[in-house]
Structure 1
Amino acid sequence: MTPTTTSQQELYRFLEDRFACAQACTECARACALRASLLDPGGTQEQERARRRGIMCAEVCDATCRVLAEHNCLDENGIRVQLELCRTVCLECAHAFDAQPGAEESATACRACARACTEFIATLR
């Protein structure tokens, strides 16, 4: 059975969305890891919270990127759960970075990743 043109287009769009989301996750992980390394572990409670959130966000984004790279290992429900976790953690991290001077770029990367996850979730059935 040959896929129809419509189903091929849907597949291409799905893969493009998956790739865009994975790229956003990678950028967010990089920004969060960099930001976390700049914060002193012995700093204020807010700095420590932001540092821990940054590390967690980098790990979740990295895991999400790996899930998205594995084409058929998870069904759409499994992918959706991972994307929802990533979106939530990214938004929490962005909020934590909002309170840190000079962390605007990292907060922006987190929000962009959350937005990419939201957009990709919308493509899942």
Structure 2
Amino acid sequence: MPRSGYPPGVTPSTSPQQLYRFLEDRFTCAQACTECARACAVRASLLDPDGTEQQERVRRMGIMCAEVCDATCRMLSEQNRQDEEGIRVQLEWCRSVSVDCARAFDGQSGAESAADACRVCADACSDFMVTLG
């Protein structure tokens, strides 16, 4: 059971080093989500909404990824109590959407940095889930 004022996954037996790692991974994940959201929003805005069906799919994927990453960052930034299962579900959703978006961007000229941001975000979500235990 988490102690009052501590994040989920932290118990009375949690060492200061484990707490530090937890908070560091949470912050790193939130930063990666923010960067991914920015990169996806910028990339989506560069694609013509009246373009090919493939371009429209990639544009929609970028917008969705930006929204999911933004929601994940906001969740990770909240200071109130959150249940660990809810955090896990959000992180897995963000990881999955980021991977899919990176794959969609892979086929687009000039989208390399956005694809990389998506992969960094997916990795950060995975790393943070490990920290949750």
TM-score normalized by the length of structure 2: 0.87
Structure 2 alignment gaps of length 5 or more: 4-10
Gap regions ≥5 residues in structure 1: none
Match of 2:108 in 1: 100
User: How far, CA to CA, are the matches of 1:53 and 1:73 in structure 2?
Assistant: 31
Percent identity between the two aligned chains: 70
For the aligned residues, what is the CA RMSD?
1.8
Report what 2:8 is aligned to: none
The answer to whether the 8 A contact 1:46-1:99 is kept is no
8 Å contact from structure 1 (residues 42, 48) kept in 2: yes
* 1:52 aligns to 2:60 (yes or no): yes
Secondary structure, counterpart of 2:81 in structure 1? coil
Residues matched between the structures, number: 124
Equivalent residue, structure 2, for 1:84: 92
* 1:41 and 2:49 are equivalent in the alignment: yes
Greater share of residues in helix: 1
3-state secondary structure, aligned to 1:41: coil
TM-score (norm 1): 0.93
Higher deviation after alignment, 6-15 or 98-107: 6-15
CA distance in 2, matches of 1:54, 1:123: 28
